[in-house]
Each structure stands twice: as C-alpha cells, then as structure tokens.
Structure 1
Amino acid sequence: MERPIRLRRSILSVPANREKMVRKALSLSADVIMLDLEDSVPVDEKEKARHAVVEALMASGWKGRVRAYRINDMSTPFAYRDLVDVVEEAGPWLDVIVVPKVNDPAEIKAIDYWLTQMEMRLGLTKKIGLEASIETAQGMLRVGEIAVSSPRLEALVFGIADYGASVGMPSGGISGHGDAEDQEAARLRWLFPLSRMAMAAKAAGLAALDAPFGDFRDPQGLARSCAMSRALGYDGKWAIHPDQLDVINQVFTPSDDDVARSRRIVAAYEAARARGEGSVAVDGKMVDAASVRLAQVTVKVAEAARRNRNLAGLKPSQS
C-alpha cells in the first residue's frame, strides 16, 4: 500500500469530550487535528467521547486538514471499543488513528488486522492510516521493528514525558514536556532518543513527529525545541495550545530560498533523466540521490502548505 503524503507540521491535540475546544480547533491553522480519547479524557467519559469523535469526524469545516483521533493504549480495556465504535460509524471520514505507548510491533499488526476486517465489512476503498507513539524505553528499543510492522504506518511520534519517566530521568521540577530546560546539558538528554526514532522512521519511509512543548507561554523555548527536532529530520510537532501553532508552522515550513533551490534540483534531475544521464549538477555543484529526494520532499511540503492555507482561508502569516 502506497503511503499518502500528508502535511504534518503542526498536530493539535484536542480532548474529544470538550465540544467547544473541538469546534474551535476547526478554525485554527493546525495541519492535523487529533481528537484525543486517551490521557485527556476521564475514564467515566470514554464512551461519550467516542460518540463525540464520530460526530466531529463527520462534521463539515475540516478544510483539507488531516482527520485523526488517538485511541487508548492496547494494555487498557478501552482500546478495542475505541477502534470498533469509531471506525464502524465514521470510517469513511477518517484519515489516521494514533496508537499511544506502542511497545511491541504486534500491537500495530493486531490493529492492522482489525482495520482490514472492518474496511472489508464497510466496503471502504481508502485505507485508514496509523501513527505509532514511542513513549517508553521498551518501545524505543524496538522502534525499528515497530516502524516496519504495517504498511498502514505513516508516522512515528515521540512521547517525551512518558519516555523520560520510563528511563528514570530526574525531573528537577521540569514538566516533563521539554520546557524549562534553559541549560544546554538538559536539552542534550533528548538527542539520542530523538535521533534514534527519526532514523527508524526515515529508514521505513515514515514521517517523524516530535512531542509537545509544555509551556505554551514560552514561544522562544518552543521555537528552540522545534529547531532542534527539525535539524534532526523531524517533519512536525504536536501542540497542546492554539498559541503554539504559528511558531510550529513557521519552523517546519521550508523557507522561500530552500523551496527555490529544491525546485532547481528537481528540475535538473528530471531533465537529466530525460537525457538518460545519471548525474545532476545544480549551481555548479554535483547533487547526489539523497539530496534529490530531500528536494522532492521539500517541494511537496511547500505545495501542501500552500494548499492548506488556501483551503483554510488563512493569510500567509497564519500558515
């Protein structure tokens, strides 16, 4: 199954049981709106929240955004109903399901089997995608296996707070979501897991998505966090507050210079192929195959960002 190219610069997590927050999210500049059934929903509201997810997915106003929701993790008694109740009612409107706390590739394979059966029963022709959230030492240890566990997988997501807890990182008063880390040494502790997960994702042809930044009142800290993960190959970042979206979108949107150079590389590559030549030169420099692939992705991201902005009726500064 060919994986679709989706714009995932910013992913806004919204509690599914908060109707006003869901309605507001549809007016914001997030590329992905993820309706949450997991941590943000109390146990006694899980069933009601599933119905809310169905209603939200089927509602108008999405304007080209990715329609996603997060189930409860597979060790709970809620996950199977999260899948069946939502997919059977709103499967045709659904793009992606986010699976939290994935520790074993068997979890993704099991969900793949269930979805295949439901899609067959419902007569769905569009395959529902999956995202696996890596949030523990066990999951990070097996991240390479998880990344290739299903052709439905489109992205890996880093769960910073739970990962830190799973390896016994001292919090030191830090929220656990990467904020309040002014010291370089504190930020460096995330480089290994971020790099390991990004490597697994890219080797499998998946997107890599960074965890949210905890302090929504610190745009400078958020920008630093985005810059670090983007430098490591990440495609986007989760947001926990609407005020974070503009910063995230800005950092993960290719600059005009990057897009212009990437277009030159792609054009030169296509011209060389038409002539039967294997080597490509741009601006007096030879360009290797990896650079061509990166240029192609950059152009696709820029074009997708423009489409999303136009569909949402947003001004350039809001994308």
Structure 2
Amino acid sequence: MERPVRLRRSLLSVPANRERMVQKALGLPADVVMLDLEDSVPVEEKAAARQAVVEALRLGDWGGKVRAYRINDMGTPFAYRDVIDVVEAAGDLVDVIVVPKVNDPAEIKALDYLLTQIEWAMGVHKRIGLEASIETAQGMARVHTIAGSSPRLEALVFGVADYGASLGMPSGGVSGHGDGEGDYPGHRWHYPLSRMVMAAKAAGLAAMDAPYGDFKDEAGLGRSCALSRALGYDGKWAIHPAQLETINAAFSPEEEEVQRALRIVEAYESARAKGEGTLALDGKMVDAASVRLAQVTVAAWRRIREQQKETTDSE
C-alpha cells in the first residue's frame, strides 16, 4: 500500500478540550488541523479531551483538511489510551496521528502494531498514518532509523523548542524559530533542519518545520519559511491563525515547478503503462525520488486548485 500524498503546507494545532477553538480552526485556511491531547491539555482533562477528539472528527466540518490529532508521548501513561479510545470510536475518520518526542524507532513500530490490531478488530478500512516529531537529541541522533521504521509513517516534524532544551541551548522563552538566533554566527538550527529533512526525503516522507514564535513578526516568518523551503521542507506549523496565509503562500509550488512536475508524472505513467522500468525526460534519466517529488508537487497543486474553487463557489 502506497503512502497517501497529502497537502501539508500549513498545520494548526488546537487544544482538543477547547471546543470553540476547534470549531474556529476548521474554518481557517490550514491544510492540516491537529487536535492536541498533549501539552495543551491538563492531566485532569485528558480523558474528556479524547472524547472531544472523537466528537470533532464525527461532527466537525473538516472541508477536505487533513484530520490529525496528537497523542501524548510514549514515555507517559496516557499514550495508549489516546490511541485506543479515539481509533476504536472514530478510526475511519482519522487521517494521521502525530507522535511527539519520538526518541526511538521502537515507539513507531509499537504504534504500528497497536493500530493494526485495532483496525482489524474494528473493521477500519484504511491505514491510519503517523507523523513523528523529532524534538530531542536522542531522536535526532536516530532520525534515519526512525524515518524508516514503519510504512504508516508519512512525515517527520521538527520540534525546535524541545530540541533546543534537550541540548541545553540558551532560550529566551519563545516557542519556535526566532529565539536567540542572533547569538550564533550563522543559523543555529541549520544542522538539525538539514539532517532531519535528509532523513525524511531518503525515506520518501514529507518534512514539516517548527513554527515561528513571534506571530506579529510577518517578515521574520517569511524568512523562516523561505529558509526551510530552500532546504526541502514541505510545510510549517503555525503558532497563530494570522500566520497561515504567509505559510501557505511560501510553500505553494511555483508555476515552473508545477509544469515540470506534470511532465514527469505524465512520462512516468506512460512508462509504467508500457511496462518500462526506466524513465527518461529531455534526454536525462529520472530517478524514483524525482518522480515522488513530482507526484507530491502535482498533488499539492491540484489540492490548492480545489481549495480555490471551493472558496470561489462558496462566495
């Protein structure tokens, strides 16, 4: 089973226990809305928040958005119930489960096995995807093996604040990019960003960058988006709804990219129909990674066009 190609330019996280915030988020132009059971939900509200995720999945108007929720990390006593309670009740409506603070590929493998058993037992007729957040020194050290740990894995996510804390890096308390970056002669997140996106793309996964902390600094957000896109990232988390428009624009493919991607996909499909094992375009061989990138670009372009049409039709 091939991994689905999803539009992931922007992701907005919402506390699952805040119903009004959830409903508002579903009407915003985020490609992915993630209902959070982790940091934003107090311990005493974890159980009720799981039921809120189920209700939002069943009753919310998602409008084609990627339906995601984030469990608590695998080192807590909450993660297994986050999976069982939600997937048993609404598994067919879950696109992706986001796994925070992944330190070891065994965490992803364990979730894969658990999800497989629940899907069998409950008759879920789809494969629920996983996203692994790389937020610690341990996780970054093992990022290549994490990236290849499960066919359910669809994306890696860089968690800049917790990653910096795990290394003991000085922090000004800003949760995201833009914190203390002038204290280093260069971009102090370049190495982990480059390492993580390389691991993701080598495994055929999407790569999502951490949010930019100051939602009032639009110029800083634009620079941060441009840097991560230049490294090969597919999208970025938003820390505030006001950031979504800038993020979506930054990670939308340019017309030249789209036209080349369309030609590659057309040539690939033609070669496959003829049973040919190799693909050449403009006198050059096209490898599997380039085909996958072209497919992602075309899928993103088509979904963006659909969103624009939906917006026009509703006006």
TM-score, normalisation: structure 2: 0.91
Query: 119-128 or 177-186, which moves further after superposition?
Result: 177-186
Separation in 2 of the partners of 1:148 and 1:165? 26
Partner of 1:201: 200
> Structure 1 residue 176: deviation in Å?
4.2
Separation in 2 of the partners of 1:306 and 1:146? 33
Partner of 2:303: 304
Distance verdict in 2 for CA 1:117–1:72, change over 3 Å:
same
Separation in 2 of the partners of 1:165 and 1:59? 38
Instruction: Please give the secondary structure, in 1, of the residue aligned with 2:208.
Output: strand
Distance verdict in 2 for CA 1:30–1:78, change over 3 Å:
same
Does residue 1:121 correspond to 2:121, yes or no? yes
**Are 2:177 and 2:213, in contact at CA under 8 Å, matched by a contact in 1?**
yes
Distance verdict in 2 for CA 1:45–1:187, change over 3 Å:
farther
Distance verdict in 2 for CA 1:252–1:167, change over 3 Å:
same
Instruction: Please give the secondary structure, in 1, of the residue aligned with 2:156.
Output: strand
- Equivalent residues in 2 for 1:115-264, closer than 5 Å: 115-171=115-171, 173=172, 175-180=174-179, 183=182, 185=184, 188-264=187-263
Partner of 1:112: 112
**Are 2:5 and 2:296, in contact at CA under 8 Å, matched by a contact in 1?**
no
Separation in 2 of the partners of 1:200 and 1:119? 28
Amino acid at match of 2:64: G
| Structure 2: unaligned runs, 5 residues or longer | none
> Structure 1 residue 288: deviation in Å?
4.2
Aligned positions, number: 310
Amino acid at match of 2:81: R
- Equivalent residues in 2 for 1:49-64, closer than 5 Å: 49-64=49-64
Distance verdict in 2 for CA 1:37–1:251, change over 3 Å:
same
> Structure 1 residue 292: deviation in Å?
5.0
Separation in 2 of the partners of 1:191 and 1:14? 28
**Are 1:71 and 1:100, in contact at CA under 8 Å, matched by a contact in 2?**
yes
**Are 2:26 and 2:60, in contact at CA under 8 Å, matched by a contact in 1?**
no
Partner of 1:24: 24
Deviation per residue, 1:64-100 (Å, 9 max, x gap): 1111000000111111111111111111111110000
Amino acid at match of 2:75: S
> Structure 1 residue 280: deviation in Å?
2.0
Instruction: Please give the secondary structure, in 1, of the residue aligned with 2:236.
Output: strand
Separation in 1 of the partners of 2:307 and 2:122? 29
> Structure 1 residue 308: deviation in Å?
3.3
Instruction: Please give the secondary structure, in 1, of the residue aligned with 2:163.
Output: helix
Does residue 1:6 correspond to 2:6, yes or no? yes
Deviation per residue, 1:188-234 (Å, 9 max, x gap): 11111011111111111111111111111111111111111111111
Separation in 2 of the partners of 1:138 and 1:94? 28
- Segments of 4+ in structure 1 off by > 3 A? 180-187, 264-279, 285-296, 308-311
TM-score, normalisation: structure 1: 0.90
**Are 1:32 and 1:67, in contact at CA under 8 Å, matched by a contact in 2?**
yes
> Structure 1 residue 293: deviation in Å?
4.5
